[in-house]
Structure 1
């Protein structure tokens, strides 16, 4: 089967195309394999909201949940079994992409329980547990970049475990994430791990930044404020890429690790589904093209890129000055960026906790029904 030319062009420009979705139906129907064959997909990301939607729709999980109910499994064990089974199967589907890319792609992510987002030690323990349960070298453990998450990231990497750092909104926090990655690699190297096998991506959330800042700009309501709508998300990601270049392409600390086989921690653009219908539905893909990046897309966004996305090559390198100018204007007009990023982080954790609770409740109902 031929690859879609627009997504193939994105891949050729250095962007790894990952699907931001997973379900048993997608696995068993062959849809994931089809997207690999036709849409240049080389990775999959999941989160609590994705699993909540997957388990709540249809009956693909009914037989397994009934079997677990008969065994006396509680709701947490049931969800852990069901989700890790899906992720393990997805890892196996993507194994050829992992091998072909020397471990860079072919990756599948699973997130620690979002209720642990503010608990460092419990996050570390669950990350290690999930790594052992899935037992696939192309797994990534997702850990949020909360204040408690950052030290957990370093500790989990030090164990030789590959990590997808999620819920990053500010460049300031991203710098702490990159530092945690380097610290984790240094400790892993000291412990005798082969650091060439440790991979990481740093997931920068894009569309949510525009959604929140646009709301504040509209409240200000001046022409200057309204003219800045839809610019912050892309500018923020471009500034993040400049920070990535500084640390990984020009930094002495990483160079010492690279000599021992270390890989760069790639920036990943997440939350790339466009929420404002006034904006191009491919905005957070075509405007964020650069080497050594990942774009994880919901299928709707991927289909839009496949249909009419215009990929013109690198649209990030060299844009840091213009991106900073956008932020300077936002600051001058009265947008409190620090407050925006703190709010978005807290909301992100709350949304995932809510989805997880809905998943717990729905699964408990299934277990109760199966036990009757």
Structure 2
């Protein structure tokens, strides 16, 4: 069945959302082009601005005529560039994870932090700090993957076994409850084992100390996760129209969900292992993207990745400029936007997705 036929079915079954169409290629190309331009500008600002403001000429020299004896060159190569790249990758991971979760569950409130995927990762990292001091970056990433899967599993299990089944509201409530519980357990572990300082970094969220070694671990996970979600993008588009419709069109919905959840765990686990529990990017960006490009996930996924990278890189710039020379946790900056957005969705959304 073609997307034109799916579009007709969607318009027939969803009369209250006639303004949406399955695919807006022109709008998507504009979003991608504009997003990449904003990303380029943001990357330049991210490298230049900070406790030590640098000139473009210095950045150019550091890139093409690196002098290991020059302090400014060292700051650019070892601190600013890894930080900028990690902001792009983490923002893309969280935004795509949120888009996939919202599409699979048809839940407007679904996101890695609302459904406790992020909190599960942070909880696992707290355990790793407590019981395996001196753990490597690779070890932290594996613990983060395991925690992300655990958080998602608990939330979905609660929703599935509750009276009335897996509804959007129950998923959100279960996610908030489980996230609160995992946060409390993480705090208890941190205090008891005297690793509160390390754990607090992961819950505040930040990319100030990211090194090249962390990016080398993050990049393969990002690439693999994006490949997985792009492979199932068309199936997620149909699934987002309703599970009964998807099954009627011959979709293997269970397989799509398993691959989708696996990709979310991979992307979120990798992001949290590097940057901590940065919230609300996975909630905000998918909604903005669908508004701009329609409901075709073949466009939503790449556009969400770009816009997520844009949001986090500019949030990080704001975080370092709010109270110089000290830095505000970037998770606090995203929360300033995300909390009102969440409350708006919770109040006005009656349908899910």
What TM-score do the two structures reach when normalised by structure 1?
0.25
Higher percent of residues as strand: 1
Higher percent of residues as helix: 2
Query: 1 or 2 for the larger relative contact order (CA 8 Å, sep ≥6)?
Result: 2
